[in-house]
Amino acid sequence: MRIRFTKMQGAGNDFVVLDETRERLNLSPAHYRFLADRHFGVGADQILSVRPAPQPDVDFEYVIHNADGGEVEQCGNGSRCFVRFVREQGLTDKTSVRVKVHGGVIELHQLPNGQVRVDMGAPVFDAHQVPFDPHHAQADGPHAWWLTLSDASTCRVGVVSMGNPHAVQVVDNVNNAPVLTQGPLMEHHAAFPKRVNAGFMQIIDRRTIRLRVFERGAGETLACGTGACAAVVTGIRWGLLDPEVLVHTHGGDLTIAWAGGASSVHMTGPADTVFHGEINLPDTL
Tens of each residue's pLDDT in the chain, 285 residues: 999 999 999 999 999 999 999 999 999 999 999 999 999 999 999 999 999 999 999 999 999 999 999 998 888 889 899 999 999 999 999 999 999 988 788 899 999 998 999 998 999 999 999 999 999 999 999 999 999 999 999 999 999 999 899 999 999 999 999 999 999 999 999 999 999 999 999 999 999 999 999 999 889 999 999 999 999 999 999 999 999 999 999 999 999 999 999 999 999 999 999 999 999 999 887
Closest Cα partner for 247 from 270, 234, 231, 266?
231
What span, in angstroms and rounded, lies between the C-alpha atoms of 168 and 54?
33
At 106 the pLDDT is 86
DSSP codes of every residue in 26-94: ---HHHHHHHH-TTTS---SEEEEEEE-SSTT-SEEEEEEETTS-EES--HHHHHHHHHHHHHTTS---
For the chain, the straight-line distance linking the first and the last C-alpha, in angstroms and rounded, comes to: 12
The answer to whether 110 and 83 have CB atoms below 8 angstroms apart is yes
Catalytic one among 75, 81, 155, 229?
A: 75
Which residues, other chains included, contact 152 with Cβ-Cβ below 8 Å and sequence gap of 6+?
none
DSSP state at residue 96: E
What span, in angstroms and rounded, lies between the C-alpha atoms of 67 and 44?
7
At 230 the pLDDT is 98
What span, in angstroms and rounded, lies between the C-alpha atoms of 71 and 29?
9
DSSP codes of every residue in 106-132: EEEEE-TTS-EEEE----B--TTTTT-
Q: Which residue type sits at 154?
A: T
User: Does residue 155 have an active-site annotation?
Assistant: no
218-232 per-position pLDDT tens digit: 899 999 999 999 999
User: Does residue 224 have an active-site annotation?
Assistant: yes
At 77 the pLDDT is 87
Closest Cα partner for 44 from 70, 7, 69?
7
At 143 the pLDDT is 96
Catalytic one among 81, 155, 224, 229?
A: 224
258-283 per-position pLDDT tens digit: 999 999 999 999 999 999 999 999 98
